[in-house]
Amino acid sequence: MRPLDDTDRRMVRLLQESGRITNAKLAKAVGLSPSACLRRLHLLEHDGIIRGYTAVIEEGDGGNGTDGARATTVMVEIVLEKQTADSMNRFETQVRRCADVRECYLMSGTCDYLLRIEARDAADYERIHREQLARLPGVARIKSSFTLRCVTRANAWPPKIDRA
């Protein structure tokens, strides 16, 4: 993978601000011809810098539940019985199959994994806990924390990170 230059970083920032920007507008904004811009864009995708394009959905406005109500976000700490490669692989394989787990992170510190779950309400989370989380292999402890609200969320690289 080649190091990113200032033009690459500007392209990525513009795409993070507006993923639907046309190639012509993107090229003009970064000072490239449309064909050169498209070549760079394909390289960024090929190198895995840009992994895909998506729509950002506002919680509660698109309706995660049937009545359009705001979803409940639950952060779940998982501690495994053992931290062997086999135990971790089995857990990771199964957690990927849990449709209600929106994100799963391998952690250092007091827990082995941190999960972000979106549920309609506490009763829905109880179902997720009973039918999915409690059945994951090798789990010793589950600690759930219900979020009150999201204070900030960023989808852009932190300004000081340079993936060169």
- CA atoms within 13 Å, Cβ hemisphere of 87: 13
pLDDT at 68: 54
Please report where in the chains the tokens 């082995």 appear, as a residue.
112
Residue 140: is it exposed, middle or buried by C-beta count within 10 angstroms (0-12/13-18/19+)? exposed
- CA atoms within 13 Å, Cβ hemisphere of 8: 19
pTM: 0.69
pLDDT at 151: 87
What is the C-alpha to C-alpha distance for residues 97 and 138, in angstroms, rounded to an integer?
16
Strands 139-146 and 101-106: unpaired
**What domains are defined for the chain?**
6-46 (1.10.10.10), 72-146 (3.30.70.920)
Strand, coil or helix: 34: helix
What is the C-alpha to C-alpha distance for residues 117 and 102, in angstroms, rounded to an integer?
5
Q: Which of 85, 92, 72 is nearest to 137 (CA)?
A: 92
pLDDT at 135: 96
What is the C-alpha to C-alpha distance for residues 116 and 75, in angstroms, rounded to an integer?
5
**Mean pLDDT per 10-residue run, the chain (164 residues)?**
87 90 96 96 92 73 50 95 96 96 96 96 96 96 94 70 48
